[in-house]
């Protein structure tokens, strides 16, 4: 599978920031976000639909993942049931989205999370803010240039 990241012309592992949870957020700090070039609704599609920013080929790079990568694939809301969740105080118990414990996933040896939002409409609310079919690379050593 080939992935594309917009916002840089090449991959620089020295710029890769380690994963850390953000309070009350479905997305962590750090990592590298990308979409499969074959995604039904990838990052470029979302940016065009939302008039967010231009995704230019000259400001992007393509890559593959190493064969030995540990990846979690989320194709439906049901796939989220085994993910570690950050506990929240009772005052935030009404949250409708999942606060994934990304730091725990890294400790457990997970390198990448792949979410296919277009496969299940329920994922939009469960992972509110992911917006499109994408991957989050949490281990900088699993990226291979093309």
pLDDT of residue 91: 59
pLDDT of residue 128: 86
pLDDT of residue 25: 85
Tokens of 73: 């694939």
Q: Mean pLDDT of successive 10-residue segments in the chain (146 residues)?
A: 94 95 91 95 90 86 95 95 82 72 97 96 89 96 84
pLDDT of residue 89: 63
pLDDT of residue 94: 62
What's the pTM value of the predicted model, to 2 decimals? 0.91
Backbone CA torsion sign across 54, 56, 59, 61: positive
Rg (CA), the chain: 15
Buried b (16+ CB within 10 A) or exposed e, 51-61: eeeebeeeebb
């Amino acid at each position: 599978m080939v992935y594309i990241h917009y916002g840089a012309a090449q991959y620089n592992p020295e710029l890769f920031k380690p994963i850390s949870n953000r309070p009350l957020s479905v997305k962590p700090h750090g990592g590298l976000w990308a979409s499969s070039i074959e995604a039904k609704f990838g990052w470029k599609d979302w940016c065009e639909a939302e008039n967010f920013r231009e995704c230019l080929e000259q400001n992007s790079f393509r890559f593959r993942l190493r064969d030995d990568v540990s990846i979690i694939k989320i194709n439906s809301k049901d796939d989220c049931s085994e993910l570690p969740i950050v506990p929240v105080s009772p005052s935030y118990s009404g949250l409708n989205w999942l606060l994934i414990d990304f730091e725990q996933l890294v400790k457990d040896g997970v390198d990448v999370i792949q979410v296919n939002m277009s496969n299940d409409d329920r994922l939009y609310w469960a992972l509110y803010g992911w917006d499109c079919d994408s991957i989050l690379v949490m281990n900088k050593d699993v990226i291979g240039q093309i």
